[in-house]
């Protein structure tokens, strides 16, 4: 494998900055397209008379293909470079986005959505591409800035509702297709290539996939399944949650849902900086606990209690109003933003020469979480009739992450700290405190 070169002089730093800006822009647009059904799915659900589960499948299916292609895209980025792979990906996705506007049946939307979902694989291209342009001490911040392209989910909630109200849902994919093509051209102009960043051809595809057997990689997959998978799932689910739970207008619901999506994307750069300064473990540990508290409060369904008192029956309403709910979602979005950055700080530190493959595997796990969770949200709502059951599910996933982290990281560090060091220079003594004889 070739040595990774990073920016050390003025021209190299300028190229690195240009690559970072171009990649972040491209990822933002790709993520905006990836989350398109979060808004477009609302009028489609009404016109096609979809239940909660069918809506969950429609919203989540693009996430599936965007997740499955992450591993090969990460490997191709290691082999051929991020500039070529990212440009080809955006150009290949644009026709499918445009065709979405001509779909009239549910099955047509599902099939075309599979191809639109390829845009979600851009994360596994940009992460190794950007990381190799920066030294290790700045890599967490650089990957965090690039990861802030998750804010495309919020951009979608600002742009799509206005287009839907003014022109109808079919205009959204047409506008997004044009934006994707223009962004591909801009990315190619601003980005650069460096042959020293490529993996040697002697490294086989099978060798790179052996990382799937690494238990540490599997642990990071678990972390990312909640901080990214949960972010994607809630970004897709929150608009219709506000509409159904609080009876809000589409535009108001999308604006409030952006209070979760926007910090969950933009503040990822801050999470990268914190991870560089305090370490990936400490940031991730606090992220999980903050998420645990928020999801515990969000899980409680709105309840009306009737209590028999000496003065007769009295009723009490327990539950979050729209303001309290939005505040908790805002805090949860910040926690997820920091967590997404800290997980990839782990990867950048521990797998610097295999970032493309490892980020592809971990990104696949997060994407699969984003695919499965909206479907499970719909199934739970159809089965229980309780919308907050979605947060109950996420609460359980966070518990798994906390337990896994405690036994593999927190407890291990405590044991090592409590173990006294063994000095090889101390003489070995007998019971009588006499020096042991040694053979000459």
Residue 4 lies in a domain: no
Residue 361 lies in a domain: yes
What was the pLDDT predicted at 338?
Answer: 92
- Residues 360 and 351 sit within 8 Å (Cβ to Cβ): no
Residue 430 lies in a domain: no
Residue 433 lies in a domain: no
Residue 435 lies in a domain: no
- What is the residue-averaged pLDDT of the chain? 83
In the chain, the percentage of residues whose pLDDT exceeds 90 is 28
What was the pLDDT predicted at 398?
Answer: 93
For residue 76, what are the CA distances in angstroms to 132, 173, 276? 15, 28, 27
Of these ranges, 49-53, 259-263, 285-289, the one predicted with the greatest mean pLDDT is 285-289
What was the pLDDT predicted at 433?
Answer: 43
Residue 424 lies in a domain: no
**pLDDT classification of 1: cutoffs 50, 70, 90:** very low
Determine the structural domain holding residue 191 and report its residue range.
10-199+208-416
Domain containing 329 — which CATH number? 1.20.1250.20
**pLDDT classification of 325: cutoffs 50, 70, 90:** very high
User: pTM for this structure?
Assistant: 0.74
What was the pLDDT predicted at 435?
Answer: 45
- The number of distinct structural domains making up the chain is 1
Residue 305's SS3 state is strand
Answer with the residue of higher pLDDT: 426 or 149. 149
**pLDDT classification of 5: cutoffs 50, 70, 90:** low
What was the pLDDT predicted at 356?
Answer: 67
C-alpha–C-alpha distance, residues 74 and 72, integer Å:
5
What was the pLDDT predicted at 200?
Answer: 55
C-alpha–C-alpha distance, residues 122 and 112, integer Å:
18
What was the pLDDT predicted at 328?
Answer: 94
pLDDT(342) > 80: yes
What was the pLDDT predicted at 276?
Answer: 84
Residue 428 lies in a domain: no
User: Which sign does the torsion angle of CA 228, 229, 230, 232 carry?
Assistant: positive
What was the pLDDT predicted at 436?
Answer: 43
Least confident of 113-122, 191-200, 231-240: 191-200
Which of these, 154, 220, 153, 229, lies nearest to 390 by C-alpha position?
A: 229
pLDDT(416) > 60: no
pLDDT digits (tens, 9 = 90+) for 169-199: 999 999 999 999 999 999 999 988 777 666 6
pLDDT digits (tens, 9 = 90+) for 123-143: 888 888 888 888 877 777 887
Residue 422 lies in a domain: no
pLDDT(38) > 90: no
Least confident of 3-12, 263-272, 367-376, 400-409: 3-12
C-alpha–C-alpha distance, residues 431 and 408, integer Å:
38
**pLDDT classification of 23: cutoffs 50, 70, 90:** very high
């Amino acid at each position: 494998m070739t040595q990774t070169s990073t920016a050390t002089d003025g021209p190299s730093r300028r190229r690195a900055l240009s690559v970072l800006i171009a990649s972040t822009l491209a990822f933002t647009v790709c993520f905006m397209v990836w989350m398109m059904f979060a808004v477009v799915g609302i009028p489609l659900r009404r016109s096609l008379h979809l239940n909660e589960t069918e809506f969950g499948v429609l919203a989540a299916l693009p996430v599936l293909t965007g997740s499955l292609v992450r591993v090969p895209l990460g490997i191709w980025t290691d082999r051929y470079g991020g500039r070529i792979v990212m440009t080809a990906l955006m150009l290949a996705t644009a026709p499918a986005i445009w065709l979405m506007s001509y779909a009239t049946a549910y099955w047509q939307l599902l099939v075309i959505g599979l191809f639109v979902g390829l845009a979600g694989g851009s994360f596994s291209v940009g992460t190794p591409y950007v990381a190799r342009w920066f030294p290790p001490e700045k890599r967490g911040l650089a990957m965090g800035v690039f990861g802030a392209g998750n804010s495309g989910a919020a951009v979608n909630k600002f742009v799509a509702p206005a287009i839907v109200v003014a022109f109808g849902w079919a205009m959204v994919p047409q506008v997004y297709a044009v934006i994707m093509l223009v962004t591909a051209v801009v990315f190619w102009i601003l980005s650069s290539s460096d042959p020293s960043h490529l993996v040697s051809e002697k490294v086989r595809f099978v060798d790179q996939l052996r990382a799937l057997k690494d238990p540490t990689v599997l642990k990071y997959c678990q972390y990312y399944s909640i901080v990214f998978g949960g972010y994607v799932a809630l970004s897709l689910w929150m608009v219709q949650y506000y509409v159904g739970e609080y009876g809000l207008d589409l535009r108001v619901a999308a604006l409030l849902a952006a209070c979760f999506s926007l910090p969950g994307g933009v503040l990822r750069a801050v999470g990268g900086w914190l991870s560089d300064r305090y370490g990936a473990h400490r940031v991730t540990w606090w992220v999980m606990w903050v998420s645990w508290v928020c999801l515990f409060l969000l899980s409680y369904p709105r309840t009306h209690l009737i209590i028999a008192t000496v003065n007769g029956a009295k009723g009490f309403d327990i539950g979050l109003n729209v303001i309290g709910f939005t505040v908790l979602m805002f805090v949860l979005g910040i926690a997820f933003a920091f967590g997404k950055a800290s997980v990839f700080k782990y990867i950048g530190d521990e797998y610097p020469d295999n970032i493309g493959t490892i980020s592809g595997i971990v990104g696949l796990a997060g994407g699969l979480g984003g695919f499965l969770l909206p479907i499970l949200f719909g199934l739970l709502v159809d089965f229980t009739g309780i919308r907050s059951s979605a947060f109950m599910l996420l609460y359980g996933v966070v518990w798994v992450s906390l337990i896994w982290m405690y036994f593999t990281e927190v407890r291990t560090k405590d044991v090592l700290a409590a173990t006294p060091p063994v000095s090889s220079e101390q003489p070995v003594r007998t019971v009588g405190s006499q020096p042991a004889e040694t053979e000459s």
